[in-house]
Structure 1
């Protein structure tokens, strides 16, 4: 339930606004990532220094996740997103200036810190709003919201490829994208309703100190950690593919780099398609059973990929892996936000666990694969996916929530 009465038209505008914020966030992130080769050349840095830039962005993301909770308490989700979208878009622009015009590693790092903090804090708040749209709509929409983020990354990567092919400078590219993110994001916020549950109203129901203490209390709730286990396993499953699938195809299965790129494309398409189709599936069989079935699918696909005797089997495994990993993160967010009164705090906590997997997983897997090889290392991901499936019961909707319960007989 939500604490405002909305007309059908207002609800549609609210939903469209959050779709837009998911999309432009993915667009901005992929635009930066797609220009990494140009960043390396313009700054005249090596792979280790690129790693430092990525670490700065990742560390700032963790800071942003921690601040999101405080920002919601202090300013509310709606005004909080105004600040975080502003920080994210300005970060994108500063990176462009630092890379191309100033050639400054420090300025680029500052821009990436702004990007990381702005993006992760926006991520928490947009998921809180997406969960509220779900509750108001009475049907599962979170996978579709995350599909819009995925679509944004695809569009951003495509634009990045075109900009690189046309030899457009990093600064001009990121200035355009940063401005687009800022304008579209702030215009979208105009359609987000003011809600007391997220502290948007000046006369909130409790003092800020009391709300902050209540927000921190979610870390004492066992359900937070169980939902975190769901997201941890699936975040590892998704992140390991993004970072290591191409290498696993080349070093593990002896394929070309082009085939590695094709495999990653298959994974991304499978994940996006299932995020688009996931909502109706959840509404049919329920959140818990969906997560269990997809955990089995992801584990089976990854096992098939590891043991594949030939290329066709490996590609089928990749498709199953992507489909199975598609809904763990969004449905974990949806479950964390079941209670509107503590949705921001719960989403922030769950997202922190998920982001730690995204950020810490790749280097850990890299170190292990250096010792035992990339394909044997992927068995660790299989184990984490199984843990995620076993923890799926924690995603059962709480009393009073109609989203994610399933209606098999309708």
Structure 2
């Protein structure tokens, strides 16, 4: 697990900003398609469980991306894989924009999810190598930049839902931002080369049991985040009387909390021990969930989501950096395994929550969240390294 040091410094050069902005484009896709699930459910007249299949489609494609990533990075390198992922991610988003039937929107989510995962995990491994001891801070700050940029889409979806263009037009932010990033920084890349393919594919020596426990923690954290992303707006609408389109702005409160947490967390990751920071972030998310779960007024609902986002903000970057730190010096192995754990979470978590919502109501289904938090805390404490 990565150790913190006050001597570590985070230098933001042009390759760093390239990956930050690529992650920003990824965030516009992720938060845009997440906020779109309740609206797709209305357009396509499906149940909550069937609407949850959009998350499952993303999950299956994410697992496939993890299986393909070692071969692709070994054959073509991280830079090519990252841009390939960006291109495929945009193709999936465009398919959702111009589709109105369930099979095509499911396909769009799958294409965007699979290729987006290729970009995300290859870029995060490159960023970690590029910054060395400050890798965890760089990953955290990259996710903060992504959250700030991605939050614009949830506002646009809500604002455009009642216009002639419709909410789908807001999703075009992703390809437009991608074109701008490619034009400005398309020739830039990190100086740290990817390890040779043998380091990724050679099973010996193994990374150790802490690597797999860290993967299980990542699984819990991704399931937790996606459960909020896909279903928090539905619960907010049901509990407060807001329309589904208006309640989609609740994700903006969640994302604002995540942005604040990740910018602060980038500095905390340089100074606070990993285990203490991680368990604290999980506790904050639990407190935010409780406020949100009990709220019947929009103000309390938004406050609970903002506090939840503050805690959730550090879960993914700390879980991913823990996997990289426990990989035995093989960051590309962690990059390949991470989407498999994340994909499993995306497949099971939101779909189970959707099925529970159909059977028992969304509020009762959200009791899944503290269960995931408890499992994650147990995993973090189990996988920590003794000094």
* Deviation digits for residues 156-205 of structure 1 (CA, Å, limit 9, x no counterpart): 33344455555337887666742541452475352213533x14xxxx4x
**1:140 equivalent in structure 2:** 137
**1:5 equivalent in structure 2:** none
Q: CA deviation at 1:147?
A: 1.5
Give yes or no for contact 2:58–2:110 (8 Å, CA) kept in 1. Answer: yes
Q: 1:39 to 1:272 in 2, by over 3 A?
A: same
| Greater Cα shift, 80-89 or 363-372 | 363-372
Q: 1:123 to 1:175 in 2, by over 3 A?
A: same
| Greater Cα shift, 142-151 or 226-235 | 226-235
**1:402 equivalent in structure 2:** none
Give yes or no for contact 1:90–1:115 (8 Å, CA) kept in 2. Answer: yes
Q: How does 1:202-241 map to 2 (within 5 A)?
A: 204=196, 208=197, 210-214=198-202, 221-241=208-228
- What TM-score do the two structures reach when normalised by structure 1? 0.75
Q: CA deviation at 1:62?
A: 2.3
Give yes or no for contact 1:89–1:178 (8 Å, CA) kept in 2. Answer: yes
Give yes or no for contact 1:333–1:351 (8 Å, CA) kept in 2. Answer: no
CA distance in 1, matches of 2:136, 2:188: 20
CA distance in 2, matches of 1:381, 1:168: 36
| Greater Cα shift, 384-393 or 8-17 | 8-17
Give yes or no for contact 2:89–2:111 (8 Å, CA) kept in 1. Answer: yes
Give yes or no for contact 1:34–1:161 (8 Å, CA) kept in 2. Answer: no
CA distance in 1, matches of 2:304, 2:139: 25
| Greater Cα shift, 24-33 or 319-328 | 24-33
CA distance in 1, matches of 2:303, 2:33: 31
Q: CA deviation at 1:397?
A: 7.6
CA distance in 2, matches of 1:284, 1:149: 23
CA distance in 2, matches of 1:56, 1:291: 29
1:277 aligns with 2:274: no
**1:157 equivalent in structure 2:** 154
Q: CA deviation at 1:291?
A: 0.7
**1:255 equivalent in structure 2:** 240
CA distance in 2, matches of 1:189, 1:221: 37
Q: 1:364 to 1:40 in 2, by over 3 A?
A: closer
1:122 aligns with 2:119: yes
Task: Please state whether the residue corresponding to 1:168 is helix, strand or coil.
Answer: coil
Structure 1's unaligned 5+ residue stretches are 2-7, 400-410
Q: CA deviation at 1:81?
A: 1.1
**1:168 equivalent in structure 2:** 165
| Greater Cα shift, 14-23 or 316-325 | 316-325
**RMSD (CA atoms):** 3.9
1:46 aligns with 2:33: no
1:22 aligns with 2:23: yes
**2:255 equivalent in structure 1:** 268
CA distance in 2, matches of 1:283, 1:167: 48
Give yes or no for contact 1:246–1:257 (8 Å, CA) kept in 2. Answer: no
1:387 aligns with 2:375: yes
Q: 1:139 to 1:324 in 2, by over 3 A?
A: closer
Task: Please state whether the residue corresponding to 2:366 is helix, strand or coil.
Answer: helix
Q: CA deviation at 1:73?
A: 1.8
* Deviation digits for residues 326-374 of structure 1 (CA, Å, limit 9, x no counterpart): 2111111112223684112113313321332233212212323444444
1:346 aligns with 2:343: no
Among 190, 196, 202, the alignment partner of 1:193 is 190
CA distance in 2, matches of 1:393, 1:365: 26
CA distance in 2, matches of 1:386, 1:262: 28
Q: 1:189 to 1:217 in 2, by over 3 A?
A: farther
Q: CA deviation at 1:111?
A: 4.3
Give yes or no for contact 1:28–1:178 (8 Å, CA) kept in 2. Answer: no
Structure 2's unaligned 5+ residue stretches are 3-8
CA distance in 2, matches of 1:73, 1:372: 47
Q: CA deviation at 1:12?
A: 0.8
**1:184 equivalent in structure 2:** 181
Q: 1:247 to 1:40 in 2, by over 3 A?
A: closer
Among 322, 333, 336, the alignment partner of 2:309 is 322
- What TM-score do the two structures reach when normalised by structure 2? 0.79
Q: CA deviation at 1:308?
A: 6.2
Q: 1:53 to 1:157 in 2, by over 3 A?
A: same
Task: Please state whether the residue corresponding to 2:164 is helix, strand or coil.
Answer: coil
